[in-house]
Amino acid sequence: MPIHYEVTSVTLDEIKNLVSDRAVTGETMLLNMGPQHPSTHGVLRLLLELDGETIITCIPDIGYLHTGIEKSMEGKSYQLAEVLTDRMDYLNTVGNNLAYCLAVEKLVELDVPPRAQVIRVILAELQRIASHLIWLATQALDLAAQSVFLYCFRERELIMDIFELVSGQRMMTTYIRPGGVWRDLPVEFEDAVRDFLGHFPKRIQMYEDLLTNNPLFVDRTKGIAVISGKEAVRWGMTGPSLRGSGVDYDLRKVKPYSGYEQYEFDVPLGENGDVFSRYIIRIQEMRESLKIIQQALDKLPSGPFRSDNRKFVPPPRSELGTSMEALIHHFKLWTEGFDAPKGAVYVPVSSPRGELGVLLESDGGPKPYRAHWRTPSFANLQALPILSEGHLVADLVAIIGSLDIVLGDIDR
Amino acid sequence: MKNHLQTAVDLIQKKYNGELSSFRGHITLLIKSEFILEVCQILRDDFSFEVLVDETVVDYWRRKEPRFQVVYQLHSRQHDERIFLRTPISEDDPNTSSLVSIYPNANWYEREIWDLFGIRFEGHPDLRRLLLPKGWEGHPLRKDVPIKVEETRFTFNNDEIDRGKPRAEN
C-alpha cells in the first residue's frame, strides 16, 4: 500500500471561514508567499489576502521543515537523544542542549559542578549574541541594508570559531552534556573570548550607527506591527518580541537556572511594541550578554567540569585503561543508557527567541517516553496574523524579521 | 506551594474532583476533560493564570481507558506560578473541548495535537492539519506508529506488514 499524500495548495473551500467574504467573490486577491521566499527566513509559507497592497488576512502555513524530532527522541536513550536537539533551532544549538540537559538533570536529580555551570552560561550567552547577529543581519538585509548583513556574519564567525575551539564543531556542538560539559575548556579559550569582548562593543556601536538613526530604516520599522503588552501576553509571546511591548519577563531573572542569579545584568524593555522597539531590545541584549560573559569569565572557578556520578556521567577516558569499574560504567552508559525515575518534568530556559521549554516524561526506562518541546518561535509566529493585519506587503517582510523566527524551531 | 496556588488547587480539588500530584516541584492536577473549559476559565479570571504556555499530549498506548492525557500548562505572571492540568482522553472517541475561546494561542497547539495524535477539539475554529501535508494518513506521534524504519516491502510480505501495523483512523 503506497503512502499517498497531496502536496497541493489549500483550496478556497478549506479556508473560506478564515478569509473575508470579498475573497470568495474575487474582489480581493489571494497571494501565495513562500515557502521558497528569501525573506521568510526558511520555509514558511504565507497565504495572503490582499486589497491592493494592504494585507487583509495572513494565514501562515508551516511544517515544511518537520522532521519528527519529538518522535525520534522516544527511540533513543537520554544521552543519544541530545544530538537531535541541536538540529531543531539551528541558531541556538547550545541553548537547546542546555535546556535538554537541565531537564534530564532535573529528572534524575543530577548535580552540576560550578565550573560547568559557568562554562554553560558563557557559551549560552555567546550563542545568544550569535543568534542576534543572524537576526540583525537578515532583518537589515530584508530592509535593503546589505552591508550590515556582511558585518554581522563577520562577527558571528568569531563566535563560531570559539565554538569550534571548545567542541570541534561550529554549529552542532553537543558540548553541554547531562551532568556538565563534554570536556574541559582548551587553554586558548579565555584569550579568544576576551579578544571578542574587547572589540565587539565597538562593532555593536557600528551597527547602531548604520541603522538606528538611518531614516530609511526608521521609516520602515517605527509604528509597524504594534502590539500591546497585554495582547502579546494573551498570544503567549515570549522573549524580545514580548519585551519590545514593555512586558518585563525574562526567565534568567524570574526563574534563574545555571547560576544566572549571580550575574548583574539588565533586562531591556521597549516602549512602543513595534518593529523598531524589538530591534532596539535585541541590540541592547547583545550588550547585556557581553556583561554576563565578562563577569562569568572573571569568576570562572577551577575544579571538575562534569559530575562524578558514574551512574549518569561516563568516566574520564584516562580511567578506562586501568579501572574495571570505569570500563563497565562506560559500556553500560553508552549501550543501555541510564534509567530515569517515573514522572514528568518541564524546564524552561530563555533562548534568544523566548521561552524554550522541554517536557520530558519518563516511564522508568532508559529512553524518554515523551519529549515535547515548547518552542518560542512557534508561539511567536502565531501572532503574525494579528501583527500584519492592515500593513503593506513590503512591511510584512520587516514584521517576520522582527519576530526572529527559526523554522527548524517551529516545525521540529 | 504558595498561598495563591494553594487556594486555586484546593478549589479545583473540591469542586471538580481534581487529583493532585507533585513531582520535582511541578503541581499537576488531573481533571475530567468535560471540566477543562470551566477550570481554565476560573484559573484565568479569578487566579490570573493568563498565559497558556503549552499544550500537548502523552499517549499511554495499550492502556485503553484512558489512552491519552492532554497536558496543559498555565502560567500566572503576577504570582510567577505555573500549574499543569492533565485530562484523560479515551481511545475510542478521542475528543475534548477546545480552549481557543479562553486562550487564543491554543489554536495552533490544538491543530498540532490533531495532526500528530488525532484528538479532536470541539469548538475549534479551524481544525486542519498543521505540520503534515493535508492528505497524510494516520497520526505519527501515536505510540502504535513505529519509530524505526519499516521492513522493506516485497510482494510476499506486503499484506503481512499491513496487518501488523495498526493505523490510526482519520
Residues of chain B contacting residue A378, judged by C-beta atoms under 8 Å apart: 108
Could you tell me what percent of chain A has a pLDDT over 70?
97
Alpha-carbon gap, residue A73 to A90, rounded angstroms: 17
Please name which of A296, A229, A233, A299 lies closest in space to residue A265, comparing C-alpha atoms. A296
Q: What cell was used for A250?
A: 525574562
Q: Reply yes or no on whether the pLDDT at A1 is more than 60.
A: no
User: And the C-alpha cell for A162?
Assistant: 570559539
Contact A1 B158 (CB under 8 A): yes
The mean of the pLDDT values for chain A is 88
Contact of B83 with B98, CB cutoff 8 Å: no
Between chain A and chain B, the number of residue pairs with CB atoms below 8 A apart is 102
**Are A397 and A39 spatial neighbours (Cβ–Cβ below 8 Å)?**
yes
Domain ranges of chain A: 69-309+337-386
| Least CB–CB distance from A343: residue in B23, B52, B56 | B23
Strands (E), chain B: 19-23, 26-30, 51-59, 68-76, 81-89, 95-97, 120-122
H helices present in A52-188, as ranges:
69-74, 82-86, 93-108, 114-142, 146-167
SS3 category, A78: coil
Mutation site, A67, A378, A403, interface B, largest B CB count within 10 A:
A378
d(CA A7, nearest CA chain B) in Å:
6
| Chain A closest-CA separation from residue B111 CA (Å) | 11
Reported confidence tier of residue A371, pLDDT bands at 50, 70, 90: very high
- By residue count, chain A amounts to 412
**Tens digit of each residue's pLDDT (9 = 90 or more) over A119-153:** 999 999 999 999 999 999 998 888 878 889 999 99
In angstroms, the CA A137 to CA A204 distance is 12
Place A6 in a pLDDT band, splitting at 50, 70 and 90.
very low
Residue A359 to residue B105, Cβ atoms within 8 A = no
Report the Cα A90 to chain-centroid distance in Å.
8
> Is 50 exceeded by the pLDDT of residue B170?
no
Beta carbons of B54 and A357 less than 8 Å apart: yes
Q: What integer is the mean pLDDT of A306-335?
A: 88
| A364 pLDDT tier (thresholds 50, 70, 90) | confident
Q: How does strand B120-122 pair with strand B95-97? A: parallel
Average pLDDT score over chain B: 85
Q: Determine the Cα–Cα distance for residues A314 and A330; give it in Å rounded to an integer.
A: 5
CATH entry, A69-309+337-386, from 3.30.9.10, 1.10.645.10, 1.10.240.10, 3.40.640.10:
1.10.645.10
Query: Cβ neighbours of residue B159 under 8 Å, at least 6 residues apart?
Result: none
pLDDT tens track for B36-51: 998 899 888 888 888 8
- Nearest residue in B to A407, CA atom: B131
Say what the pLDDT of residue B80 is: 85
Interchain pair A374, B23: CB under 8 A: no
Contact across the interface for A71 and B51, Cβ inside 8 Å = no
What was the pLDDT predicted at B159?
Answer: 79
- Answer yes or no: do A344 and B28 touch at CB < 8 A: yes
Model confidence over B78-133: pLDDT tens digits?
888 889 999 999 888 888 999 999 999 999 999 999 999 989 999 888 888 888 88
Q: Are A379 and A42 in contact (CB under 8 A)?
A: no
**Rg of chain B taking only CA atoms, in angstroms:** 18
The answer to whether B162 contacts A1, with C-beta atoms less than 8 Å apart, is yes
For residues B51 and B105, give the distance between their C-alpha atoms in angstroms, rounded to a whole number.
Answer: 9
The CATH number that domain B3-163 falls under is: 3.30.460.80
Give B16 to chain A, closest Cα distance, Å.
23
Give the list of residues 6+ apart from residue A405 with CB closer than 8 angstroms, or none: A41, A42, A44, A353, A377, A380, A381
**Taking CA atoms, what residue in B is nearest to A362?**
B58
CA distances from A406 to A3, A379, B134 (A): 29, 12, 23
Residue of A372, A389, A409 to mutate, testing the B interface (most B Cβ within 10 Å of its Cβ): A372
Judged by CB atoms closer than 8 Å, whether chains meet at A346 and B26 is answered as yes
Residue of chain A nearest B26, judged by CA positions: A345
Confidence of residue A115 (pLDDT cuts 50, 70, 90): very high
